[in-house]
Structure 1
Amino acid sequence: MEENIDIEQLRIPEALTGPEAADFLRVVEISRLVRMHTWGNDELAYTAGELLAQCHDPYEWNVMLIARVNGVIEGCAGIAMPLDDNTELAHVTLDVLPQAEGRGMGRKLLEAAEQFVRGENRKSVLVETNHAASALAAAANEAEQIHPTSGTGYLPLSSREARFAFSAGYELERVERFSSCAIPLDEALIAQNMEATHAPHRSKYRVHQWLDACPDRWAGDIARLEQCLDRGQSPGHGDWDIAKLREAEEFSALTGRRTIVTAAECVADDALIGFTSISILNHRQDVAFQDETFVELEHKGKGVGLRIKEANMTKVMREFPEVRTIYTWNAPGNSQLLEVNAQLGFISAGITAQWRKDFNAY
């Protein structure tokens, strides 16, 4: 029988029960199987509840396209379109079952996603590819490499995912190193790091911690630091102020996301000069995600980053004893933060790459 690949838009269900949720649950399972194939585990896969919550995010419009082969869903493309900031962008996530690869399904899904976002007047598409450390190690000495337009690092052209994005007209924008850390931390490691960060600068800084909601006293400082992070290191935060901070905290509470924050105060200035945060999602208590870490330039090199990150991870261990792994993403060129992570026990798991296509160039 001739194989037919049909692309259609998935109707997002209101609940996860009943026949109307069957296709959505199939998409959740495809996403899980793809991540199992890439990373060797499903710790980075969305649960059904998480994906459903994401599809109802008030800050972005989420659309799902599905690919049926002779009536059976074997691939999907998630389209996320920001509604407040970066409204010319669309983020596309492709998931195709490993056994269905090589039949043009990914290309059909991507082309359909591009057509959809162009119809919504989006000017650029960002696509992410994931590359396990074991696969990259096998191609470490290959001559053909793709280098990003921003930052450092590279991908081997022999990578199937890299070839797919490249041949579809996408430009490698940046790569991030993906790392994991087993929890609980080794007590000897904690003691060693505490000794390393003790003096000569330790007395100049005071550590503050909170869960979920920033104390009123520090809200202005955190908004200011978020603004600095936005301008200097991490796009997508928009114009931060206290109102936006509270709005983000309220949304996290609604979705069940927990956030642990540790901040450093410069005693002499009576102001926060850095912070770090870790998130734990509502439907998965054994995995946590290192979010932002930021220290003002004039306070770097004084052990502040190591001190607040370790304090934050220790609080995770105390408040959420179910956590077994913390994941983080970092720019390959951020040697200082990568060194801090190594001191805390993070090991490389692979690379996540971001590819971009601007429609006005075509």
Structure 2
Amino acid sequence: MSETTIEQLRIPDSLDGDLAADFLEAVEVSRLVRRHTWGNDELAYTAEELFDQCHDPYEWYVVLVARKGGAIVGRAGIALPLDDNTELAHVTLDVLPTAEGMGLGRKLLEAAETFVRGENRQIVMVETNHPAATLEEGTGDPIPATHGSGVLPMSSREARFAFSAGYDLEQVEQFSACALPVRAGLTEELAAKAARTHNSGYAIHQWVDSCPEEWAQDIARLEQSLGPDGVAQEPWDVARLREAEELSVLTGRHSMVSAAECLETGALVAFTSISILGHRSDVAFQDDTVVELSHKGKDVGLLIKVSNMDQLVREFPQARTVYTWNAPENSYMLSVNAELGYVSAGMTGQWRKDFNAV
């Protein structure tokens, strides 16, 4: 039986030539794992996307690979923020289905933790993915999340793996998909419903990639708004907004934003954004949706999400699927998504290990 080895992957200078062969093989491992998990490869990084991530000026991205008989059969991606949250490291594990049951996941995670400790990071976050079909089979011994109302069953192999490795389940999110195009007339119907609720008290403003200067301060303020636990988010201002927009454009990503202006005050009070990756325009991702507390309960969230779906179809008619993640307790946004045609595909778990607490 051939020995399994784990080593750090050299990031090539380009995707051309023999020096990129190992990098491309590691990308293929990730693609096959996601296809096995979700039934398609729409959530898999392309080689270009992972290459861009490895050159992100705000994040150091390291890849460890597991080899068996010379072939790469698993990988651990380690993302280390360089600007904010420098105590954190995010680890993504991929092991080929044909190599499962050999302890490779544990070996990769241990190697990643050793690397992280060497970089003086105190907290490691690991994500587990749980398709809806596997959760329906899971029974007994629920693991409750530290934040929110989500749970995962101990009968899940992925949950059991993270739990046995000493990780605490911090948060669970519902993962949903919406097939495009949506039913003809649906967005018009939902926009009319929203208008009846808030008596047409809001105007919609839209843009792609760059926020108009007149709304930049409002968007920064909304980004800075308090989180669900009453804890302020990372500092946001117009300079940081422009920096984020510039980085997005440099990686080829496009962002579509729809924001709601309160006609009584003239200020933006809500926005939502959808991203299209630079190297794959058939898949879109629903990003942040923020509504000021005083404007909740008026279907403003429905209004902006419907408007942004229209913008997506108009600007990127080739898009075929939109994916989104929501906290299970966010019943309003889940109901809005259901009205738009989102269907639950499963759950993702965010697991945390604090080395200072071990």
Normalised-by-shorter TM-score class: over 0.9
Matched, 1:186 2:150: no
Matched, 1:211 2:208: yes
Any residues of structure 2 matched to 1:45-60 within 5 Å, and which?
45-60=44-59
8 Å contact from structure 2 (residues 191, 302) kept in 1 = no
Of 182-191 and 25-34, deviating more is 182-191
Q: Distance in 2 between matches of 1:235 and 1:341?
A: 26
8 Å contact from structure 1 (residues 86, 236) kept in 2 = no
Cα gap change, 1:154/1:293 in structure 2, threshold over 3 Å: closer, same or farther? Answer: same
Task: Flag structure 2 segments of 5+ consecutive residues without an equivalent.
Answer: none
Partner of 1:26: 25
TM-score (norm 2): 0.98
Of residues 170, 177, 181 in structure 1, which corresponds to 2:174? 177
Q: Distance in 1 between matches of 2:126 and 2:36?
A: 19
SS in 2 for 1:354: strand
RMSD: 1.4
SS in 2 for 1:33: helix
Partner of 1:271: 267
8 Å contact from structure 1 (residues 85, 236) kept in 2 = no
Matched residue type, 1:177: Q
Cα gap change, 1:102/1:200 in structure 2, threshold over 3 Å: closer, same or farther? Answer: closer
Q: Distance in 2 between matches of 1:44 and 1:117?
A: 25
Of residues 335, 339, 345 in structure 2, which corresponds to 1:343? 339
- Provide Cα deviations, 1:48-79, integer angstroms capped at 9, x if missing partner: 00000001111111100000112111000000
Any residues of structure 2 matched to 1:202-281 within 5 Å, and which?
202-228=199-225, 231-232=227-228, 238-281=234-277
Matched residue type, 2:141: E
Task: Flag structure 1 segments of 5+ consecutive residues without an equivalent.
Answer: none
SS in 1 for 2:166: coil
Cα gap change, 1:97/1:201 in structure 2, threshold over 3 Å: closer, same or farther? Answer: same
Q: Distance in 2 between matches of 1:298 and 1:200?
A: 15
SS in 2 for 1:23: helix
Partner of 1:129: 128
Paired positions, count = 358
Of residues 147, 158, 161 in structure 2, which corresponds to 1:164? 161
8 Å contact from structure 1 (residues 262, 275) kept in 2 = yes
Q: CA deviation at 1:200?
A: 4.8
Q: CA deviation at 1:237?
A: 5.8
8 Å contact from structure 1 (residues 64, 78) kept in 2 = yes
Matched, 1:143 2:140: yes
Q: Distance in 2 between matches of 1:62 and 1:43?
A: 21
Partner of 2:350: 354
TM-score (norm 1): 0.97
Any residues of structure 2 matched to 1:278-357 within 5 Å, and which?
278-357=274-353
Cα gap change, 1:237/1:51 in structure 2, threshold over 3 Å: closer, same or farther? Answer: farther
Q: CA deviation at 1:202?
A: 3.7
SS in 1 for 2:281: coil
8 Å contact from structure 1 (residues 177, 332) kept in 2 = yes
Q: CA deviation at 1:331?
A: 0.2
